[in-house]
């Protein structure tokens, strides 16, 4: 099929496709999502087919605000209301108990819960409002590949498989939303993001983190808990410490193939890059690195022939938890060993 590109002032045309059961990618402040009418089971199933996504990997439901959530979820708890007031619209996804048969199993993965998100992107809020229904919104990429932060990334992966893409420029955050399970005894972060424990606890008290990968027979409550994610074609190696970069560049130079390097500007400036190294800047700090991570991983897929990507690691706390969560999954937990140089 033809994949049409829509500008932000063309959301009515994109919404018409959604109402007709078609798939349309939409922008958020984190990454681009793949939208379908969350109340149309046939349309939702097309999302799994277009992405090549396992059918037991539940989908996030993207909404315009609490009033839309209340049409499908059980009555909102005091904590849920407080979180929505504090962080919505924004990069926080909440897992809530559903009303009986409120959404199809194609959305929930067969669970009695669903994840709801109210993105901080006015174009997408306008799109949902025009469509008149909530949208499922997994990342708009081939399943397992780095998430898209540009409309061009979506087009690369899904051209001919979806009806349209609403292009609103680059995503501002660059890593997906924090997912918080409010159905647990203690609210639990299942996927770290820009909203951290330190942000959440002043609003609702104690918060736990549980980023484990679920077993083969388990149904994950949230995306990213079971299957391989964010992986480019080349093997990613995490460089844990700035003091390891001398060894990392020495190792890269010894290879008989091209190596990609993703690092902060100060690391790149401090080293003479071997001739077989292609550098991608992660910017000045952790914030810019989080914003550029997926774009960098995607850069080394279609645009170069590198067979390994050395990527800078950070401390696993705060925003670093979100960054390292994605980077570890992209690398398959493979860390560069400086003793091998």
CA distance 226 to 330: 13
Instruction: Quote the pLDDT of residue 54.
Output: 73
Residue 219 is assigned to a structural domain of this protein? no
Same domain for 180 and 321, yes or no, is no
Q: How far apart are the first and last CA of the chain?
A: 49
Low-confidence ranges of the chain (pLDDT < 70): 55-56, 211-220, 222-229, 302-304
Reported as a single tens digit per residue, the pLDDT across 92-128 is: 999 999 999 999 999 998 899 999 999 999 999 999 9
Detail the residues annotated as belonging to a binding site for L-threonine. 30, 117, 177
Spatial contact of 235 and 200, defined as CB atoms under 8 Å apart: no
Residue 224 is assigned to a structural domain of this protein? no
Residue 163 is assigned to a structural domain of this protein? yes
Instruction: Quote the pLDDT of residue 231.
Output: 77
Same domain for 157 and 247, yes or no, is no
Residue span of the structural domain in which 82 resides: 4-209
CA angle 237, 243, 248 (to 5 degrees): 35
Residue 229 is assigned to a structural domain of this protein? no
Spatial contact of 173 and 194, defined as CB atoms under 8 Å apart: yes
Same domain for 165 and 253, yes or no, is no
Neighbours of 12 (CB within 10 A): 12
CA distance 336 to 260: 13
Instruction: Quote the pLDDT of residue 213.
Output: 55
Instruction: Quote the pLDDT of residue 211.
Output: 61
Same domain for 161 and 278, yes or no, is no
**Which CATH number characterizes residue 158's domain?**
3.90.870.10
Residue 225 is assigned to a structural domain of this protein? no
Detail the residues annotated as belonging to a binding site for ATP. 53, 57, 113, 139, 147, 191, 230
Residue tagged 């708890």 (tokens): 77
CA distance 147 to 231: 9
Same domain for 189 and 251, yes or no, is no
CA angle 153, 157, 162 (to 5 degrees): 105
Residue 174 is assigned to a structural domain of this protein? yes
Q: Which residues pair with 260 in a beta bridge?
A: 278, 309
Domain total in the chain: 2
Spatial contact of 176 and 92, defined as CB atoms under 8 Å apart: no
Detail the residues annotated as belonging to a binding site. 30, 53, 57, 113, 117, 139, 147, 177, 191, 230
């Amino acid at each position: 099929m033809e994949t049409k590109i829509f500008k932000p002032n063309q959301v009515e045309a994109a919404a018409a496709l959604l109402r007709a059961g078609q798939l349309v990618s939409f922008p958020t402040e984190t990454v681009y999502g793949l939208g379908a009418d969350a109340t149309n089971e046939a349309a939702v199933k097309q999302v799994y087919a277009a992405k090549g996504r396992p059918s037991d990997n539940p989908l996030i439901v993207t909404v315009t605000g609490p009033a839309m959530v209340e049409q499908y979820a059980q009555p909102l708890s005091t904590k849920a209301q407080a979180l929505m007031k504090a962080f919505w619209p924004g990069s926080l996804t909440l897992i809530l108990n559903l009303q009986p048969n409120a959404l199809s199993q194609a959305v929930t993965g067969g669970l009695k819960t669903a994840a709801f998100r109210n993105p901080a992107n006015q174009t997408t809020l306008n799109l949902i409002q025009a469509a008149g229904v909530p949208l499922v919104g997994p990342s708009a990429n081939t399943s397992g590949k780095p998430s898209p932060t540009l409309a061009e990334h979506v087009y690369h992966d899904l051209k001919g498989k979806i009806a349209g893409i609403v292009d609103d420029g680059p995503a501002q955050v660059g890593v997906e939303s924090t997912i918080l399970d409010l159905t647990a005894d203690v609210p639990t972060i299942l996927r770290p993001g820009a909203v951290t424990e330190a942000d959440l606890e002043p609003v609702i008290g104690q918060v736990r983190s549980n980023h484990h990968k679920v077993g083969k027979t388990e149904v994950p409550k949230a995306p990213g808990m079971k299957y391989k994610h964010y992986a480019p074609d080349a093997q990613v190696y995490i460089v844990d410490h700035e003091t390891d970069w001398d060894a990392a560049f020495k190792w890269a130079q010894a290879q008989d193939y091209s190596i990609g390097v993703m690092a902060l500007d100060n690391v790149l400036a401090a080293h003479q890059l071997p001739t077989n190294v292609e550098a991608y800047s992660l910017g000045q700090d952790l914030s810019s690195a989080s914003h550029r991570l997926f774009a960098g991983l995607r850069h080394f897929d279609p645009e170069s022939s590198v067979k390994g990507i050395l990527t800078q690691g950070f401390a696993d706390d705060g925003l670093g938890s979100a960054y390292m969560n994605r980077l570890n999954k992209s690398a398959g937990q493979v860390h560069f060993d400086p003793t091998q140089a």
